A and B are shown apart, each in its own frame.
Chain A
Amino acid sequence: MAKLTLQRVSPHSTVQDAGRTNGLQYGLSASGPMDRPAFDQCLTLLGEAAATGLEFTFLGLSFTYEGPAMAMAGAGGEFLLSINGAAQNWPVKTELHDGDKVDIQTGPNGMYGYVRFAADIDVPLLLGSKSTNLAAQIGGLSGRALAIGDEISLKQGAVLTAAQHVKDPPLQEPDPVVTLRVLPGLHADLLGPNIWHNLFEHEFQISASTDRMGVRLVDAHDRFASMEKLNLISDAVVPGDVQILGDGTPVILMRDHQPTGGYPRIATLIDKDLDRAAQLRPNTRIKFQSISLEKAHYLL
């Protein structure tokens, strides 16, 4: 029997696997890791790993491990890791032993990090996935975030094998102003060319209000505040949609997004940039850039 006992947990940390891709027809977004390449990197580091791991947010995570020798990998952002007080590299591949104390602290970059193990997180498989959807309160540990004192069992079972030639995600963004590439959103034509061009004129900032549902942006120019209120019919939402709230606040919708919504969506981030957006800390300056669908597919 192997288990983790959580000593320190940052808010909105969760159990995640690749996601609940068949949930949408029942009103459930897929969830899954906010930074999929980092989650996958843990698997690459291990070669073989269980499908489910822990996602923690930028304050990190600490836990005690009890059980037989267990392979563990950690990746995502740039966190500071120590095991039994000794500093380790990040990302990391290591082996845990009975009684080891793992401590992951905020580092210079990133909002989301991951640990994965040779054995799987022992929680129920719901609609084909163990992912936590915090908005719907489903999956993982009874639909809730990780909490101090949680005892999480690891169970030997099926493992995934790493794909070949996976490119590791960068530890940090190269530019102080991060460029996120977008396609026109569901309502771009309805909102008109002026609103569309507005999106690219000035920078935005990542606000302090970011979670698995969405990343709110700060718009110093308040460019959408006076936008005409459209009476829209509720329609499909996809991850990466840039939604404009009633007061003009833009929000990038993330993994635990509502399945449908009635706010206008001006743009949609390309899939490739959604994980990068998730890792941006509050106050990061961003700008949007228009890209063709063909180019977006080429980048995948």
Chain B
Amino acid sequence: MPEPELPQTRGPRVKLQPLGDKAILVVFDRELNLKANRQAIQFSQQVQDKLAPHIEGVSSNLLSCLVRYNPKTISFTRLRQELQLMLSRFDLVGERPPMETSPVTINVHYGGEQGPDFESVCAQLETSPNDFVATHTASVLDVLALGFSPGFIYLGLHECWREFPRRTALKENIPAGSVLFAAGQTAITAVPIRTGWSVIGHCDLLNFDVSRDPPVKLRPGHNVKLNAVEVTHG
């Protein structure tokens, strides 16, 4: 086993890990939390601002920042040094407010044919559908990440539901605009996908249109407020 790269930065340990021979992943934490998520998003923005001409691209994930590079343009050693330098100036200790955006309202239809798992989620959580919706829509949520499929966004965190499991069986062909729920997060599909998450509803957001530039409306760092327009159960 090769030795993992462990930069000595102040505060928590951030890991710089080569992914293949053309990318470095900057990992801020292993357990999902808002602070590390915001660090990953905001650090990715800084990398974009400072290193864009020297790299192939940067994108944030739930807890990490992927920096893609061409070793013929910038060497691994040089890029790692640049990232370490940026990390040494990046506050890893203090709380991080969300990036300045006013929340985008997303209207959600809970349950019904387009939210077939809504009632079983409520039953598993031993809560009434109305109480679930009240909690689910109570807070402004961060767009934690964009990934898995085009325009697919992860929203969170719902701290009280972090332990809620994924389903054991995958469901096929879940349509765009579906609202998914698992592990303290809500996700919204933008193209049809296969998923193990519970499908609790449907919304009017279509977060991917390849003819637009940029093709997505919501991306990591944005904020969202869910609004229940309909709750179907029983």
Listed in ascending order, the chain A residues whose CB lies under 8 Å from chain B are 21-22, 24-28, 126-127, 136-139, 183-186, 188-189, 193, 196, 233-236, 238-241, 258-261, 268-272, 292-293, 296-297, 300
Contacts and interface: CB of A to CB of B under 8 A. Distances in A.
A193 B25 CA distance: 21
Nearest to B191: A136
B214 interface: yes
A25 B31 CA distance: 22
Main DSSP-derived SS at the B contact region: loop
Ranked nearest first, the 3 interchain pairs of A and B with the lowest CB-CB distance are A260-B147, A268-B20, A296-B21
A189 B17 CA distance: 11
13 contacts: A21-B56, A26-B219, A27-B151, A183-B21, A184-B1, A236-B25, A238-B68, A258-B149, A268-B21, A272-B21, A297-B76, A300-B71, A300-B72
Given A233-B32, A235-B62, A300-B72, A241 B20 contact: yes
Given A24-B57, A26-B214, A27-B208, A196 B191 contact: no
B191 A137 contact: yes
Contacts of B61: 234-236, 260
Interface string B145-186: 111111110100000000000000000000000000000000
Nearest to B62: A233
B208 A26 contact: yes
A37 to B, nearest CB: 15
Given A136-B191, A260-B61, A28 B150 contact: yes
A236 B56 CA distance: 15
Given A27-B148, A126-B211, A240 B20 contact: yes
A167 B3 CA distance: 34
Interface residues of B, number: 47
Contacts of B208: 26-27
Contacts, number: 125
B215 interface: yes
Interface in B11-50: 17-23, 25, 30-32
B59 A24 contact: yes
A186 B17 contact: yes
B39 to A, nearest CB: 15
Contacts of A137: 191
A27 B152 contact: yes
A245 to B, nearest CB: 12
Most buried by B among A138, A233, A261: A233
B66 interface: yes
Contact of A183 (B20, B57, B64, B219): B20
B97 to A, nearest CB: 22
A270 B21 contact: yes
A240 B61 CA distance: 19
A238 B69 CA distance: 12
B234 interface: no
Interface string B54-88: 00111101111010100110011000000000000
A236 B123 CA distance: 33
A186 B17 CA distance: 8
A128 to B, nearest CB: 9
B63 A136 contact: no
A126 B32 CA distance: 34
B2 interface: yes
Contacts of B59: 24-25, 236, 259
A139 B154 CA distance: 25
A99 to B, nearest CB: 36
B148 A235 contact: no
A233 B25 contact: no
Contacts of A269: 20
Most buried by B among A185, A260, A261, A270: A260
B63 A235 contact: yes
A234 B147 contact: yes
A26 B147 CA distance: 7
B210 interface: yes
Contacts of B20: 183, 238-241, 268-271
A183 B18 contact: yes
A236 B66 contact: yes
A193 B47 CA distance: 33
B197 to A, nearest CB: 11
A129 B76 CA distance: 27
Contacts of B190: 27
